[in-house]
Amino acid sequence: MPLFSPRTYRYNHGNTRFTLGRIQMNRRQFLTAGAAAGIAFPQTLLAQPDSETTPVRSNPIAVATYSFWRFQDGLKLPIEKCIDVAADMGFAGVDVLHMQMHREDDQYLRELRRHALISGIALCGLSIHQGFVTPDKEKRQANIDHTIRMIEMAYTLGIPCMRLNTGRWRTTKSFNQLMKDRGIEPPLPGYTEDDGYPWVIEAIEKCLPTAEKCGVVLALENHWGLGRTPEGLLRIVKAVDSPWLQILLDTGNFLEDPYDKLELIASHTAFVQAKTYYGGGTYYTLELDYARIAAILRKVNYRGYISLEFEGHEDYRTAIPKSLKMLRAAFGSDR
């Protein structure tokens, strides 16, 4: 919208009156015309920002390799293929699911990093599976050791952010049943949820020195277990109180009242995974308002990646491009 409506503009400069004429112009055009006429504008006017030419910062859109697989038989694409398809579709980055990798040796990791560079794709996230919600110290230590090894893998790949979970009680043996129960499961007999928080906090603290050394931010996801609620997630993040532990905001993991809950964790967010469900969700389907989610994230000045996690039954070759178009529209991005 022009700063000035169409009418005659006059500017007094000493004893001389300049007339810019009956024109429609914005602030930049007005200042340019005045400068050409030799007008010395006050510094206060020159210092004002030009809202029409200040771009709105958009978020780069990535895609999780999980989007191509979704744990469906016969769809476990190699990471290299995921990178190629992501580049062809126009994504800016790829979020690697560790369980989808078929090799972990350093030579392969370096080759994968090179492949992404040549393809014009940033390897922006690594999602791993681990859990610290167990009274068994040896099991917790095994998960700590695994997490540290994954941090070092992320470093070799040049990935700056790694997804963590709190883990869960595993008293519900079937994941399908857990989804039917909306992610809620009882603690182990003789324990309460309050017993689990110190285990998770201590385990993460043991991983932090490696994360800091490698420059890899740990992002705790609002997932199942103790991270199922914003209160549980924030209890852990605030207790650890480290810049190397932030939150991974998953848009599809708060199954009730998602927007209020996403708003509670938004200011601690370092990475976003955005779910879509074309063709109907594998476990459930949410109707998510991404314009509203984008507004929540803009409010806290979140400028990081939006990583698509397609979780529907539609063929990924049609569903993922539709998802990218929708996320671009919501987050103001051309990539």
- How many Å apart are CA 282 and CA 285, to the nearest integer? 8
- The pLDDT, as a whole number, for residue 70 is 87
Average pLDDT over residues 211-225: 97
The total number of structural domains that make up the chain: 2
- Compare 175 and 328 and report the one with higher pLDDT: 328
- Give the tens place of pLDDT for each residue, 282-323: 889 999 999 999 999 999 999 999 999 999 999 999 999 999
Q: Are residues 236 and 92 in the same domain?
A: yes
Q: State which residues form the domain around 25.
A: 4-46
- How many Å apart are CA 64 and CA 274, to the nearest integer? 9
- Give the tens place of pLDDT for each residue, 12-37: 444 444 444 443 444 455 445 555 55
- Give the tens place of pLDDT for each residue, 88-102: 999 999 999 999 999
pLDDT band with cut points at 50, 70 and 90 for residue 2: very low
In a domain? residue 55: no
How are beta strands 4-13 and 16-25 bridged, if at all? Answer: antiparallel
Neighbouring C-alpha atoms within 13 Å toward the C-beta of 231:
2
Q: Are residues 275 and 192 in the same domain?
A: yes
In a domain? residue 260: yes
- How many Å apart are CA 78 and CA 194, to the nearest integer? 40
In a domain? residue 52: no
pTM assigned to the model: 0.83
Q: Are residues 87 and 227 in the same domain?
A: yes
- The pLDDT, as a whole number, for residue 50 is 46
Q: Are residues 102 and 29 in the same domain?
A: no
Domain holding 120: CATH number? Answer: 3.20.20.150
- Percentage above 70 pLDDT, the chain: 82
- The pLDDT, as a whole number, for residue 39 is 56
Q: Are residues 82 and 179 in the same domain?
A: yes
Q: Is the pLDDT reported for residue 9 higher than 50?
A: no
